[in-house]
Chain A
Amino acid sequence: MGRHVLLIEDEANITEAIRFLLTRDGWQVDTHADGADAVEVIRRAAPDLVILDVMLPGRSGMEILRDLRDLDGFRDLPVLMLTARGQSRDRDMAERAGVSRFMTKPFSNAEVLSAVRDLHAQAQRT
């Protein structure tokens, strides 16, 4: 298993910070900022892990995740979801959609890094 992360986030400066952080940690990071074609972008890129924002232009992260879980080969893909809405109902919705980890904004870099490493390690073990 490689160390390829696809970050889907429309906030340019968050994207830049996370890309810098993960690149320094040895990850190959690709980014995408639009929700409308995100499922197709993930399918083509076939990353080892996806970081997915919930509120995206074009399509919500929840819908993207649901569609992703219906695709062969992507049911177990680790997905870390980022959102500004941390209410329990949003967590419930994300869990039902098949999220691997849920993180609310504003998060710390250490939290993101730790979550990415954990999810990747778990995926390697299975």
Chain B
Amino acid sequence: MARDTLTGSRIRERRTIKGVRQADLARKVGISASYLNLIEHNRRRIGGKLLIDIASVLGVEPSMLTEGAEAALIATLREAAADAATPLAETDRADEFAGRFPGWAEVLAWSHHRIASLERTVETLSDRLTHDPRLAASLHEVLSTAAAIRSTASILAETGELEPEWRDRFHRNLNEDSARLADSSKALVAYLDDSEANDDRRGAPQEEVEAFMAAHGHHFPGLERGAELPDPLIEAAPELTSRAARQVARAVLAQYQADAAAMPLTEITGAIASVGLDPLALAARFGADLPAVFRRIAALPAEVLPDEVGLVICDASGSILFRKPLPGFALPRHGESCPLWPLFSALNRPLVPIRRRVAQLGRSAAHFDCLAVAWPDGQPDFDRDPVYRSIMLILPVAGGGIGGEQVQPVGSSCRVCPRSACAARREPSILSEGL
């Protein structure tokens, strides 16, 4: 997007930094909140008196809004200061710093992004090593074979007089083990290469389904229009290699069709333009329950939503059943997620919607509004306890949300969370070991 089309984003950034509510700013400049919302999402051009009025309320020069003055850079500097978790940085002078030393500011921002990227890599590798049974078994095979070769080779090299029978046996073992090592190493490299090339490495049925959904951008226009059926889509999907994954995908798409029928695309697009991305209002308008609204929002095309959204669903054991990842909010692939997520809090209070503003420690200072609710899955039964599921919609807070309302710190998983004094900690963090 060109710089001059980002005026709305800069207004949003400045408004959030100032802690001014959208409705309050709109009222002060004499426009509706929904019109300001369109402006902030760069869907309406702005200039003239309205721009001057908005700049005046926000206490900045109009040029700061139209020319940017490196709003994104300033936001990154604030994130870097917040992540440093020390009160040393003069965050109130971030604008001045970026203005006077733009080169150094860029270096700092680049370093901040680089750290975040490396943290994500550590997190992914740690998660995989800990929980990926295929990788663990593969590494075990390689190391065990290497141990056998090393031990056998030492005997052959270091034992002075070895009986011919033993020598032949160890030579044979060495030959077998070296062939095994070659095969297992090749398999391991192929596996890792495949993972590198394919970000959505698959294995469990849920992962195949997530890859399938991601390949379609979580949106199926053919299903929306009734022009397509789930089965041909599933059969044609290269991501769905196992029968189990295809079965899970069928259930997901059946749910998708039901949600789309209850909240057709045209109607929900209009509703969002009218009431904003307010799940309760949308639920009331369509007579739908909150889980359905959350799922529907996560399945909408990008042009309908103000920002990308994330979604995660778990069962009562805490096992993750479905993930729609969102940049900046880490969702561990193999479970053992942070128990402080509202997703899990909701399981303690079924049917009670929970909203928390959260920040994931050790990643960036970006804030997210997490809306969660748990509900009994399936038909009620007098003789059977209900089985609950929980769903959490993750919405990025405009401008990163720095300086806004109270924020609950959460992690992604204990292993990569730097918060040592956490009552919910299950195991030590590898970050505290100096990585």
A24–B151 CA distance with the chains assembled, in angstroms: 14
Min C-beta distance of B140 to chain A, whole Å: 4
**In the complex, which residues of chain B have a beta carbon less than 8 angstroms from the beta carbon of A24?**
159
Let me know if A109 and B151 touch, CB within 8 A. yes
**In the complex, which residues of chain A have a beta carbon less than 8 angstroms from the beta carbon of B159?**
24
Q: Assess whether B101 is interfacial by the CB under 8 Å rule.
A: no
A18–B140 CA distance with the chains assembled, in angstroms: 18
Let me know if B155 and A17 touch, CB within 8 A. yes
Let me know if B151 and A84 touch, CB within 8 A. no
A55–B151 CA distance with the chains assembled, in angstroms: 19
Tell me which residues from 88 to 126 in chain A have a Cβ below 8 Å from any Cβ of chain B.
88-89, 104-110, 112
Let me know if B140 and A88 touch, CB within 8 A. no
Interface string of B123-166 (1 = CB under 8 A from A): 00000010000001001100111111111101100110000001
**In the complex, which residues of chain B have a beta carbon less than 8 angstroms from the beta carbon of A89?**
427-428
Let me know if B152 and A13 touch, CB within 8 A. yes
Let me know if B147 and A106 touch, CB within 8 A. yes
Let me know if A13 and B173 touch, CB within 8 A. yes
**In the complex, which residues of chain B have a beta carbon less than 8 angstroms from the beta carbon of A84?**
139-140, 143-144, 147
Q: Assess whether A21 is interfacial by the CB under 8 Å rule.
A: yes
Min C-beta distance of A85 to chain B, whole Å: 7
Tell me which residues from 54 to 92 in chain A have a Cβ below 8 Å from any Cβ of chain B.
55, 82, 84-85, 87-89
**In the complex, which residues of chain B have a beta carbon less than 8 angstroms from the beta carbon of A17?**
148, 151-152, 155, 170, 173
- With contact pairs A88-B433, A89-B427 given, residues A20 and B155 touching in the complex (Cβ less than 8 Å): yes
Considering only CB atoms, which chain A residue lies closest to B151 in the complex? A17
Let me know if B155 and A109 touch, CB within 8 A. yes
Q: Assess whether B114 is interfacial by the CB under 8 Å rule.
A: no
Min C-beta distance of A108 to chain B, whole Å: 7
Min C-beta distance of B179 to chain A, whole Å: 12
Q: Which of A13, A20, A87 contacts B177 (CB 8 A)?
A: A13
**In the complex, which residues of chain B have a beta carbon less than 8 angstroms from the beta carbon of A109?**
150-151, 154-155, 158
Considering only CB atoms, which chain A residue lies closest to B137 in the complex? A55
User: B145, B150, B151: which has the most chain A beta carbons within 10 Å?
Assistant: B151
Q: Assess whether B169 is interfacial by the CB under 8 Å rule.
A: yes
**In the complex, which residues of chain A have a beta carbon less than 8 angstroms from the beta carbon of B427?**
89
A99–B100 CA distance with the chains assembled, in angstroms: 60
Let me know if B144 and A11 touch, CB within 8 A. yes
Q: Assess whether A16 is interfacial by the CB under 8 Å rule.
A: yes
Min C-beta distance of B148 to chain A, whole Å: 4
Min C-beta distance of B177 to chain A, whole Å: 6
A21–B146 CA distance with the chains assembled, in angstroms: 17
Let me know if B144 and A108 touch, CB within 8 A. no
Considering only CB atoms, which chain A residue lies closest to B158 in the complex? A109
A24–B147 CA distance with the chains assembled, in angstroms: 19
**In the complex, which residues of chain A have a beta carbon less than 8 angstroms from the beta carbon of B377?**
none
Q: How large is the interface on A (under 10, 10 to 19, 20 to 34, 35 or more residues)?
A: 20 to 34
**In the complex, which residues of chain A have a beta carbon less than 8 angstroms from the beta carbon of B170?**
16-17, 20
A49–B159 CA distance with the chains assembled, in angstroms: 24
- With contact pairs A55-B140, A85-B140, A89-B428 given, residues A14 and B158 touching in the complex (Cβ less than 8 Å): no
Min C-beta distance of A79 to chain B, whole Å: 18
Q: Assess whether B176 is interfacial by the CB under 8 Å rule.
A: yes
Interface string of A14-37 (1 = CB under 8 A from B): 101110110010000000000000
Min C-beta distance of A72 to chain B, whole Å: 32
**In the complex, which residues of chain A have a beta carbon less than 8 angstroms from the beta carbon of B154?**
108-110
Let me know if B140 and A107 touch, CB within 8 A. no
Let me know if B140 and A14 touch, CB within 8 A. no
Min C-beta distance of B91 to chain A, whole Å: 36
Let me know if A11 and B155 touch, CB within 8 A. no
**In the complex, which residues of chain A have a beta carbon less than 8 angstroms from the beta carbon of B158?**
109
A18–B155 CA distance with the chains assembled, in angstroms: 10
**In the complex, which residues of chain B have a beta carbon less than 8 angstroms from the beta carbon of A112?**
151
A91–B147 CA distance with the chains assembled, in angstroms: 19
A77–B139 CA distance with the chains assembled, in angstroms: 30
Q: Which of A18, A88, A105 contacts B144 (CB 8 A)?
A: A105
Let me know if B155 and A14 touch, CB within 8 A. no
- With contact pairs A89-B428, A106-B143 given, residues A14 and B433 touching in the complex (Cβ less than 8 Å): no
Min C-beta distance of A91 to chain B, whole Å: 12
**In the complex, which residues of chain B have a beta carbon less than 8 angstroms from the beta carbon of A11?**
144-145, 147-148
Considering only CB atoms, which chain A residue lies closest to B139 in the complex? A84
A84–B140 CA distance with the chains assembled, in angstroms: 5
Interface string of B58-97 (1 = CB under 8 A from A): 0000000000000000000000000000000000000000
Considering only CB atoms, which chain B residue lies closest to A21 in the complex? B155
Known: A11-B145, A84-B139. 4 other contacts (CB 8 A): A84-B144, A89-B428, A108-B150, A109-B151
Q: List 26 A-B contacts (CB under 8 A).
A: A11-B144, A13-B176, A14-B148, A17-B152, A17-B170, A17-B173, A18-B151, A20-B155, A20-B170, A21-B151, A21-B155, A55-B140, A84-B144, A84-B147, A85-B140, A87-B129, A89-B427, A105-B143, A105-B144, A105-B147, A106-B149, A108-B154, A109-B150, A109-B154, A109-B158, A112-B151
